[in-house]
Amino acid sequence: MTAPEKLNALRQQMLEYQLDAYVIPSTDPHQSEYPAPRWAAREWVSGFTGSAGTLVVTLHEARLWTDSRYFLQAEEELAGTGIQLMRLKTPHTPEYADWLTEHLLDGQTVGVDGRVFSARAARSLAKKLKGADLHLKTDHDLFGFVWKDRPDLPNRPVSEHLADFSGERWEGRLRQLTDWMTERQLDYYLVSALDELAWLLNLRGTDIDFNPLMVGYFVAGRRGDHAVFAEQNEALAPWAEQLPELKRLPYREAANYLRHLNARDADIGFDPGTTSVFLATAAGGLEAGGVESPIPHWKAKKNPTALAHLREVMAHDAVALLRLRRWLDGALDGGVTEYQIGKRLAAFRAEYPHYVSESFNPIVGYNDNGAIVHYHAAPDTAAQVRRAGILLLDSGGQYQNGTTDITRTFALGDPTEEQRRHFTLVLQGHIDLARARFPAGTSGVQLDVLARGPLWSEQLNYGHGTGHGVGFFLNVHEGPAGISPNPKSPAAQHPLEPGMVLSNEPGYYRTGEYGIRTENLVVVQESEQEGWLYFETITLFPIDRRLIDPTLLTTEQRNWLNDYHRRVLEGVAPLLEGEELEWIQEACVEL
């Protein structure tokens, strides 16, 4: 079926259920950033493959809202579909809820699938619609009728993440949660977010590409009467034997179980931001039990064992990137595509014994493709990479001992003065943020300007955040903290705390020409001065000196760069010999 045919089929169902508009988010029942194929409904209808976007279908129109990371990609993928792109956070573009209130008539009805719409989002949307005399219905999954070959529920293997890596046993984490529940007089607490489930129980799955997660729910009982809901129940048996009172039930039984507890007048807690309307209703209703989960905060602060493993994995990840870079130098004359570069890098990463998968689909953007922030090179459309121009490579790996995310911009020929200037402005912002010292309680929105300052001085900017949290053998994007200029962003408002791992990734993108980004991971550390914090940069890979204009660097910036390259050499050189060792020694020569 084509996109227009899918829209027509969807509208037939809307007429059947008397819906005047239907909102299709990008999420799944757990509010995941990257849903399993079963819940990729927005992508199935529209053809838009970006990770963020909301599709609104009325009986006569279809519009897709997404942010600046995906404007170019969305324009290409929506062409010919009849779906209009709505550019978020640009002048005269309303949010989708405001658009609905402006375009629907009094008394009309908006539908959503309450299984993939969070309780918080539904409450907010219902309030907005009510003010315009519109109604919200949350009980219609229209895709059950129109998506004939819809994928099944995920049911892939599950394994235990050993405490030797995580630094904590799951029993201690579960006890921490039940103690927290006792303080709040909760009998039960629903853990819905998949990365929270994985962290709490030290379980890792393979249900979602690039994210080591199992699709399931966990209901913690204050008195030890816990329940887990997943399709992969047999694989959980060895782990479950350690909890004799644990109930292991099918994934679809979660709502019935919550209804049963609610009928007994149990006090059930759930996080309205990650719990679906469907389950929130089963647990007592949208106004009952809404208690923000403590797990994201606990999970974000990595313990010393995890951080030691992460520093180790950074050196091995650097070896893979070094081998990719050396291979690329030899492959350019024979012909190589962006797609092939991404595949070869994954193969180099896989040489390390603790490797599991890539942590996201690599972004390999040559010249003008590098200006598409979340570009994805497909096998049949990937650009041929030549010995000229610049290449933006954003990639990462999932390892038993950590998650990596690194971006480097490489000169494949002689860069222009303009490219060197823009690269150096980005690098200056990266260094200024990396060097920051800041008082405890500081949030990412207060630090973001440090990374943008050099670009702003020349009236240049980039349209994405500067940093996101990174999980430990978990999601490459995690909360609760981040670095962004948006004062309304909960992540940007969250105080940075010791043990948090974040990215530092300013960039610059010239549409139709090239993209530049430099990204390292940093750990928030306590300074020797009480009450102060700083960033420890833990990514270990050289920055391409051919793209640097040293005349723009301050003495402090130059010293930071030379010191960084000394640390790269100290961390990675012991893993190398011969020509590989010579390569990194040359790449780390002082500026």
Taking only the tens place, the pLDDT of each residue in 45-73 is 999 998 899 999 999 999 999 998 889 88
> Is the per-residue pLDDT at 206 higher than 80?
yes
Grade residue 246 by pLDDT with cuts at 50, 70 and 90.
Answer: confident
3 state SS of 274: coil
CATH fold for the domain made of 3-146: Creatine Amidinohydrolase; Chain A, domain 1 (3.40.350)
Q: What is the CATH number of domain 301-587?
A: 3.90.230.10
CB atoms < 10 A from the CB of 243, how many?
17
Decide: helix, strand or coil at residue 561: helix
With residue 468 as reference, give the H or E element that holds it.
strand 467-469
**pLDDT at residue 69, as a whole number:** 83
pLDDT value at residue 244: 74
Q: How far apart are CA 346 and CA 384, in angstroms?
A: 19
The CATH number given to 158-299 is: 3.40.350.10
Separation of alpha carbons 398 and 453, rounded Å: 33
Query: What is the arithmetic mean of pLDDT over 468-481?
Result: 97
DSSP 148-205: TTPPPPP---EEE--HHHHSS-HHHHHHHHHHHHHHTT-SEEEE-SHHHHHHHHTEEE
On the CB side of 291, CA atoms within 13 Å amount to 21
Band (pLDDT 50/70/90 cuts) for residue 328 is very high
pLDDT-derived band at 89, boundaries 50, 70, 90: confident
| Whole-angstrom distance, CA of residue 520 vs CA of residue 43 | 31
Average pLDDT over residues 398-420: 98
Q: Is the pLDDT of residue 234 over 80?
A: no
* Nearest partner of 515 among 352, 391, 381, 401, judged by Cα: 391
Residue boundaries of the structural domains of the chain: 3-146, 158-299, 301-587
pLDDT for res 233: 65
**What percent of the chain clears pLDDT 70, i.e. is strictly above it?**
99
Are 232 and 205 in contact, with CB atoms under 8 Å apart?
yes
pTM of the model as a whole: 0.94
Predicted local confidence at residue 107, as pLDDT: 97
- Nearest Cα neighbor of 251 from 275, 226, 227 is 227
pLDDT at 238 over 80: no
pLDDT tens sequence across 21-42 = 999 999 999 999 999 999 999 9
User: Does the pLDDT value for residue 240 go beyond 90?
Assistant: no
Mean pLDDT score of the chain: 95
Of the listed ranges 190-204, 287-301, 318-332, the one predicted with least confidence: 287-301
pLDDT at 553: 98
| CA–CA distance, 561 with 428 (Å, rounded to integer) | 10
- Picking from 428, 430, 423, 398, the residue whose alpha carbon sits closest to that of residue 503 is 430
Q: What is the pLDDT of residues 527-586, one digit of tens each?
A: 999 999 999 999 999 999 999 999 999 999 999 999 999 999 999 999 999 999 999 999
**Cα–Cα nearest to 289, from 194, 176, 174, 188:** 188
Peptide bond into 550 cis (omega under 30): no
Predicted confidence band of residue 180 (pLDDT cuts 50, 70, 90): very high
The answer, yes or no, to whether residue 237 has pLDDT greater than 80, is no
pLDDT at residue 371 in the model: 94
How distant is the alpha carbon of residue 77 from its chain centre?
A: 21
Q: How confident is the model at residue 289 (pLDDT cuts 50, 70, 90)?
A: low
pLDDT at 540 (0 to 100): 98
- The conformation of residue 49, written as its DSSP 8-state character, comes to -
What's the whole-number mean pLDDT along residues 318-333? 97
Note the pLDDT of residue 322. 98
> Residue 332: what residue type?
L
Q: Which residues 6+ apart lie within 8 Å of 263 measured at CB? A: none
**Do the Cβ atoms of 500 and 523 come closer than 8 Å?**
yes
Query: In 349-462, where do the E strands start and end?
Result: 355-358, 363-366, 384-385, 390-395, 397-399, 402-403, 406-411, 437-439
One fold for both 3-146 and 158-299? yes
